[in-house]
């Protein structure tokens, strides 16, 4: 449960750093000369990270709904994997609109 909570907090902090601080340099593969709208990219990436952070707290609820603790943890990990992969795909696909054409 602690790992699920820490993952959510980490994603929320990263989302705020991107959205408010406009620190797109921390994104993997970011090159300033390839993107024309740095602020748009920061807003997009920050919003996606914030949503992923909020959704990742759902893993705590998913894992606590199941009576067997081991099965609950497995279900929580599966839920968190779906959120992370879905968020990563959304982030990558959406960031393409900010690239120079």
- Average pLDDT rounded to a whole number, residues 35-57: 93
Mean pLDDT of 9-27: 93
pLDDT bracket for residue 67 (50, 70, 90):
confident
Tell me, rounded to whole angstroms, the distance of Cα 87 from its chain centroid: 6
Average pLDDT for residues 20-25, to the nearest whole number?
Answer: 91
Structure-token pair, residue 3: 């790992």
* 8 within 8 A of 53, measured Cβ to Cβ: yes
**How much helix, strand and coil, in percent to the nearest 5, is found in the chain?**
80, 0, 20
Is the pLDDT assigned to residue 101 strictly greater than 80? no
Average pLDDT over residues 24-37: 87
56: pLDDT strictly greater than 90: yes
């Amino acid at each position: 449960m602690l790992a699920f909570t820490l993952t959510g907090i980490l994603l929320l902090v990263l989302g705020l750093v991107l959205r408010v601080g406009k620190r797109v340099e921390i994104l993997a593969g970011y090159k300033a000369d390839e993107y024309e709208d740095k602020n748009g990219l920061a807003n997009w990436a920050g919003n996606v990270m914030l949503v992923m952070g909020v959704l990742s707290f759902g893993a705590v609820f998913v894992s606590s709904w199941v009576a067997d603790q081991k099965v609950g943890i497995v279900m929580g990990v599966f839920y968190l994997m779906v959120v992370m992969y879905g968020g990563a795909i959304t982030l990558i696909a959406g960031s393409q609109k900010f690239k120079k054409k």
